[in-house]
């Protein structure tokens, strides 16, 4: 093998590294930290910046406005020079992400459920999609290790999950959670305080949560367990190098069909070549297929690692209806983390329903004063003109909101391709999204909306309404380089190595076989730790 061959000698070549990780988000950080104990030379290239605690919106009075500006979850709206545009015109759901150290964990709500055991056996149990080549029990020790690194608030004993012990006290129920719990108990359904990646006590040098507001625009306190404050400080202390503002354009290969390294643009816009013995992709379900497709060559004309034709296909985005209701009494509003608790009452398949698989009900608090006005105006609950103030005072601090986290199954026509026109600031082709919601998922959504409405009615809420997709795009980008044993039906094997390129690994949400009905970050990171461990155990014959 001759890793490190620069395909174009006109560009500067950096010193070869043992491991090159592309992307400093949830999975890249976990893998970097885990591999650091091998003492290999590890470099991570990240196209975005570090976000300093003082940069986060809650430092200022304009904190709500900035969630629609430089901290918007849509890269197209946010438009930082570190972002790349996404053509999602042909998708009913829009793409959300963040490009920077921490990736999506900078802006996530920190809701941190694990996948359930049944999620890995969808074909066997329900006759749809495919089973994963690994199971819950394979990942169980990595879930626990990830919880320890992250700091997870929660409560042991949830009957909806195999036993596990969150390592921090749960986030308070508050007035809003108490109201939900009373309503769900009235219906006799399951609920449990959510596992949440928030430090409810001081943890690993991080301050405890002080209830700044919702966690989505970033946490100025550092209590939220984004990997910028969890994994990265530890990985860098263990000599992993993290280089920011470095946008990878393509992964190159050598004469043996092995990954040679990556061509990237550095912080000054200079095109460089970074050679590596091992390349690990951690750019998630849109960024990873974009990069593989942009790495097409004479040897890999359909894109790198794409002999199966599945790179970019089977995109899953988690349709997530949100059901709103308003009560007379004052609730928590924006005082505290957004997420309170979950219900798994309708998570597992029930043959009596007209759909397979299921969903999580995610119970949340209210929102800030400006965001309440903006979202309520858009939904038609609030009006302009003379009655504005009266109506507004029935909404702010009175909101209940239940999200329906639906599992959408893999479908080949839901996909990421390269846009023929749109390009990023370096002239690299941008991703194009084609995505529709299946009939099974639509039935699931309507079932969830009806059950959430029942809960809100039991809670005494009025003015109940639903946003099916318009205001909501959760940023769960899954399935576009799926894992499997058969090279003709998957992109990576059961431990994350590309079938076609034996020194190229993928560790992010793109390797998911099915989407489950939970927020993916906990499982993405556990998978990353598992793949890193698999690499470490095979170092002697990794490329065989």
Partner 1 sequence: MAVGLAPELNAEELRDFRRLAGFMVPASAEYGVPGADDDTIFADIVASLGRDRDFVGEALLLLRQSAAGDYAGLDEAKAEDLAMTLLGGESPAITALGRAVLQCYYRDDRVMRSLGIEPQAPFPKGRVLEQGDWSLLDPVRGRPRMWRDIDGAGT
Does position 137 interact with partner 1 (CB under 8 A)? The reply is yes
Which parts of 254-293 interact with partner 1 (CB under 8 A)? Answer: none
* Shortest Å distance, C-beta 160 to partner 1: 5
Biggest CA pair distance of the chain: 74
Which parts of 117-136 interact with partner 1 (CB under 8 A)? Answer: 117-118, 120-121, 124-125, 135-136
Choice from 77, 237, 413, 538 touching partner 1 (CB under 8 A): 77
* Shortest Å distance, C-beta 151 to partner 1: 18
Is residue 505 within 8 Å of residue 497, measured between CB atoms?
Answer: yes
Q: Which residues, other chains included, contact 14 with Cβ-Cβ below 8 Å and sequence gap of 6+? A: 272, 273, 274, 275
Q: Quickly tell me which residue has 């263990």 as its tokens.
A: 238
Choice from 6, 97, 194, 213 touching partner 1 (CB under 8 A): 213
Q: Which stretch binds partner 1 (CB under 8 A): 180-188, 235-243, 299-307, 456-464?
A: 180-188
Q: Which stretch binds partner 1 (CB under 8 A): 151-159, 236-244, 253-261, 458-466?
A: 151-159
Q: Write the CA distances from 102 to 105, 219, 367, 399, 491, integer angstroms.
A: 5, 12, 24, 30, 25
DSSP character at residue 316: B
Is residue 222 within 8 Å of residue 59, measured between CB atoms?
Answer: no
Phi and psi (nearest 5°) for 361? Answer: -95, 125
Residue 538 has, within 13 A of its CA and on its CB side, a CA count of 16
157 burial level (CB within 10 Å; 0-12, 13-18, 19+): exposed
Choice from 16, 144, 173, 236 touching partner 1 (CB under 8 A): 173
Does position 85 interact with partner 1 (CB under 8 A)? The reply is yes
CB-wise, 46 or 277, nearer to partner 1?
46
CB-wise, 185 or 537, nearer to partner 1?
185
Q: Which stretch binds partner 1 (CB under 8 A): 19-27, 30-38, 158-166, 303-311?
A: 158-166
Distance between CA atoms of 455 and 182, rounded to whole angstroms?
10
Question: What is the full DSSP assignment across 87-117?
Answer: EEEEESS------BTTGGGGT---B-PPPPG
CB-wise, 247 or 272, nearer to partner 1?
247
* Shortest Å distance, C-beta 488 to partner 1: 25
Does position 166 interact with partner 1 (CB under 8 A)? The reply is no
Which neighbouring-strand residues pair with 193? Answer: 341
CB count within 10 Å of CB 8 equals 10
Considering CB under 8 A, how many residues would be counted as binding partner 1?
78
The helix/strand count (H/E) of the chain reads as 12, 16
Binding mask 9-48 for partner 1 (x = CB under 8 A): ----------------------------------------
> Could you tell me the end-to-end alpha-carbon distance of the chain, in angstroms, rounded to an integer?
12
Length reported for the chain = 544
CB-wise, 174 or 303, nearer to partner 1?
174
Which parts of 378-437 interact with partner 1 (CB under 8 A)? Answer: 378, 384-386, 388-390, 393, 396, 424-425
Q: Which residues, other chains included, contact 233 with Cβ-Cβ below 8 Å and sequence gap of 6+? A: 205
Does position 81 interact with partner 1 (CB under 8 A)? The reply is yes
Does position 61 interact with partner 1 (CB under 8 A)? The reply is yes
Choice from 210, 270, 391, 485 touching partner 1 (CB under 8 A): 210
Q: Which long-range contacts (CB under 8 A, 24 or more apart) does 449-452 make?
A: 449/321, 449/323, 449/404, 451/345, 451/346, 451/361, 452/321, 452/323, 452/361, 452/402, 452/404
Rg (CA), the chain: 22
Choice from 250, 332, 408, 500 touching partner 1 (CB under 8 A): 332
Q: Which stretch binds partner 1 (CB under 8 A): 11-19, 116-124, 288-296, 461-469?
A: 116-124
Does position 300 interact with partner 1 (CB under 8 A)? The reply is no
Choice from 167, 178, 394, 463 touching partner 1 (CB under 8 A): 178
Q: Which residues, other chains included, contact 179 with Cβ-Cβ below 8 Å and sequence gap of 6+? A: 327, 329, 331, 400, 459, 460
Choice from 22, 36, 48, 83 touching partner 1 (CB under 8 A): 83
CB-wise, 2 or 165, nearer to partner 1?
165
CB-wise, 65 or 236, nearer to partner 1?
65
* Shortest Å distance, C-beta 157 to partner 1: 6
Does position 489 interact with partner 1 (CB under 8 A)? The reply is no
Q: Quickly tell me which residue has 């015109």 as its tokens.
A: 89
């Amino acid at each position: 093998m001759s890793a490190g061959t620069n395909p174009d000698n006109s560009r500067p070549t950096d010193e070869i590294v043992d491991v090159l990780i592309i992307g400093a988000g949830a999975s890249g950080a976990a893998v970097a930290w885990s591999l650091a104990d091998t003492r290999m030379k590890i470099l991570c290239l990240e196209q975005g910046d570090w976000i300093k605690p003082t940069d986060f919106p809650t430092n200022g009075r304009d904190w709500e406005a900035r969630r629609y500006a430089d901290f918007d979850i849509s890269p197209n709206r946010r438009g930082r020079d570190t972002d790349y545009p996404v053509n999602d015109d042909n998708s009913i759901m829009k793409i959300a992400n963040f490009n920077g150290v921490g990736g999506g964990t900078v802006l996530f709500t920190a809701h941190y459920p694990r996948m359930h055991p049944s999620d890995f056996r969808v074909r066997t149990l329900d006759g749809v999609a495919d089973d994963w080549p690994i199971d819950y029990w394979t990942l169980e020790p990595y879930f626990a290790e990830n919880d320890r690194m992250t700091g997870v608030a929660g409560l042991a004993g949830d009957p909806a999950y195999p036993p596990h012990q969150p390592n921090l006290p749960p986030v308070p129920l508050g007035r809003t959670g108490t109201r939900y719990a009373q309503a769900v108990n009235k219906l006799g359904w399951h609920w449990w305080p959510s596992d949440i990646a928030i430090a409810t006590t001081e943890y690993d040098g991080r301050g405890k949560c002080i209830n700044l507001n919702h966690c989505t625009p970033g946490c100025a306190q550092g209590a939220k367990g984004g990997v910028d404050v969890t994994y990265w400080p530890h990985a860098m202390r263990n000599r992993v190098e993290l280089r920011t503002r470095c946008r990878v354009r393509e992964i190159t290969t050598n004469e043996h069909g092995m990954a040679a390294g990556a061509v990237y643009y550095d912080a000054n816009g200079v095109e460089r070549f970074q050679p590596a013995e091992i390349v690990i992709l951690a750019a998630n379900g849109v960024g990873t297929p974009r990069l593989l497709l942009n790495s097409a060559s004479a040897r890999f004309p359909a894109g790198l690692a794409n002999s199966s034709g599945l790179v970019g296909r089977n995109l899953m985005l988690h349709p997530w209806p949100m059901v709103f209701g308003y009560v007379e009494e004052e609730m928590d509003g924006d005082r505290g983390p957004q997420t309170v608790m979950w219900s798994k009452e309708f998570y597992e398949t029930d043959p009596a329903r007209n759909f397979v698989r299921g969903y999580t009900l995610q119970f949340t608090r209210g929102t800030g004063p400006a965001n309440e006005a903006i979202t309520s105006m858009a939904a038609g609950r609030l009006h302009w003109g003379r009655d504005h103030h009266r109506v507004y005072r029935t909404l702010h601090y009175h909101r209940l909101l239940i999200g329906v986290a639906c599992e959408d199954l893999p479908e080949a026509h839901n996909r990421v391709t390269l846009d023929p026109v749109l390009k990023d600031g370096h002239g690299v082709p941008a991703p194009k999204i084609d995505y529709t919601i299946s009939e099974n998922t639509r039935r699931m959504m309507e079932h969830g909306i009806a059950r959430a409405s029942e809960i809100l009615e039991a809670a005494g809420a009025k003015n109940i309404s639903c946003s099916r997709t318009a205001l909501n795009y959760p940023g769960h980008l899954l399935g576009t380089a799926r894992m499997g044993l058969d090279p003709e039906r998957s992109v990576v094997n059961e431990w994350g190595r590309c079938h076609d390129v034996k020194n190229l690994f993928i560790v992010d949400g793109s390797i998911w076989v099915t989407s489950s009905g939970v927020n993916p970050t906990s499982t993405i990171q556990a998978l990353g730790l598992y793949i890193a461990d698999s690499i470490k155990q095979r170092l002697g014959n990794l490329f065989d």
